[in-house]
Structure 1
Amino acid sequence: MEEQSIGVQLIAQERQKQIDKYGFTAQYSVEHPEYYENKQLQQAALILTGLDYAESPVTPDNWDPDRFTKLCNENRKERLIIAGALIAAELDRLSELEN
């Protein structure tokens, strides 16, 4: 098997940080639907990937606006990494729900 791309590695590292630092496991997201059930992870990923200039982002429902604004203020590369990890988190959540 070929070596993972740098992008995949960066997203995997960010996803692991979400789990280790904040406890945002798939099980956590299943147990807290108020943060995830209404596609908030997808919404956040779309917002982060679409920011090209300073603007006031719409914070996903029930998310901490200060924390989300901090994510939005990251540079473009970091926002893309975080967005990729959020998509991975949503896939984790959906897989957990299927079990």
Structure 2
Amino acid sequence: MDIIADQERRSRAILDVIRERIRQQREERWTAEHDDRHTGGELARAAAAYAFMGAATEAQRAVFGAPEGYRHSAVLSDLWPCRWEGTWWKPKNPRRDLVRAAALIIAEIERLDRADNSPIAGGENE
């Protein structure tokens, strides 16, 4: 079953997250091999930073959403991976930032699954 083609059974939000994850892989070239080098929680931290921006006020977005604007927030500067380029910080709007956060969370989960190297069966409850 093609997840993207089966739109009638999926929400727009889920489809947008899947599309964003595919975009990260194809356009940004964030491959599994690339992601696997981020063993210090960088993907999850970046996701948290974008999720923070999804809840930011307009005033906060005006300051923190600028290029390298994360440096003006104690929370964001702690969250944003210190070894990542400041130019990679690209908040857009609340919804877009939440979609990006969700896709980064998926990237981190995928990385953890590969690192665990065990077959994925029924999910968390096993």
- TM-score bucket of the superposed structures, by smaller chain: 0.7 to 0.9
3-state SS, counterpart of residue 66 of structure 1: helix
Gaps of 5+ in 1: none
Structure-to-structure mapping, 1:1-99, within 5 angstroms = 3-30=9-36, 32=37, 36-51=38-53, 52=56, 53=60, 54-55=63-64, 56-57=69-70, 58=77, 59-68=80-89, 71-72=90-91, 74-99=92-117
TM-score of the aligned structures, taking structure 2 as reference length: 0.66
3-state SS, counterpart of residue 22 of structure 1: coil
Give the helix-richer structure, 1 or 2.
1
Deviation for aligned residue 1:26: 2.1
Q: CA RMSD in A?
A: 1.8
Higher relative contact order (CA closer than 8 Å, sequence separation 6+):
1
Gaps of 5+ in 2: 1-5, 71-76, 118-126
3-state SS, counterpart of residue 84 of structure 2: coil
The count of aligned residue pairs is: 92
3-state SS, counterpart of residue 27 of structure 2: helix
Give 2:10's aligned amino acid. Q
Aligned structure 1 segments of 4 or more residues deviating by more than 6 angstroms? none
